[in-house]
């Protein structure tokens, strides 16, 4: 992957918005930076980070952008996201990067009689 000045600025903006534990794992000199970005895009829920990563991968090339773009298929006349392919690719990407990127802790929800309790 060829990295230009605009991508360097995007990388540091992405890194700045990540939690501190994940910042240490992200390095621009990493040869698997593209795979880390794809895994980060699928792992995070923050829309700002997703947008920055998507722009970064668009600049990296069409093959990298295709890994995060949603594939559409038609079912009974309606377009449906191809979630089966995305989940299998997500599993493969997380298997590769589970040792590289720590999982973010999420607060579990408590449900009582079908209602979310705080």
Say what the pTM is. Answer: 0.58
**82 pLDDT band (50/70/90 cuts)?**
low
Give which of 116, 11, 85 is closest to 55, Cα–Cα. 11
Q: Which two tokens stand for residue 35?
A: 């795979």
Contact 107, 113 (CB under 8 A): no
Give which of 56, 62, 48, 66 is closest to 3, Cα–Cα. 56
13-72 tens-digit pLDDT: 999 999 888 888 888 888 888 899 999 998 888 899 999 999 999 999 888 888 888 666
Give the angle 92-18-24 at the CA atoms, nearest 5°.
Answer: 80
């Amino acid at each position: 992957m060829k990295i230009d000045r605009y991508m360097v600025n995007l990388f540091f903006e992405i890194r700045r918005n990540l939690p501190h534990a994940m910042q240490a794992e992200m390095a621009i000199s990493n040869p698997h930076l593209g795979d880390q970005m794809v895994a980060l895009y699928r792992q995070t829920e923050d829309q700002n980070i997703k947008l920055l990563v998507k722009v970064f991968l668009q600049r990296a090339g069409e093959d990298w952008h295709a890994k995060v773009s949603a594939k559409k298929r038609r079912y009974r006349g309606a377009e449906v996201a191809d979630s089966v392919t995305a989940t299998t690719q997500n599993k493969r990407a997380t298997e590769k990067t589970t040792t590289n990127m720590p999982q973010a802790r999420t607060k579990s929800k408590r449900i009582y009689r079908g209602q979310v309790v705080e």
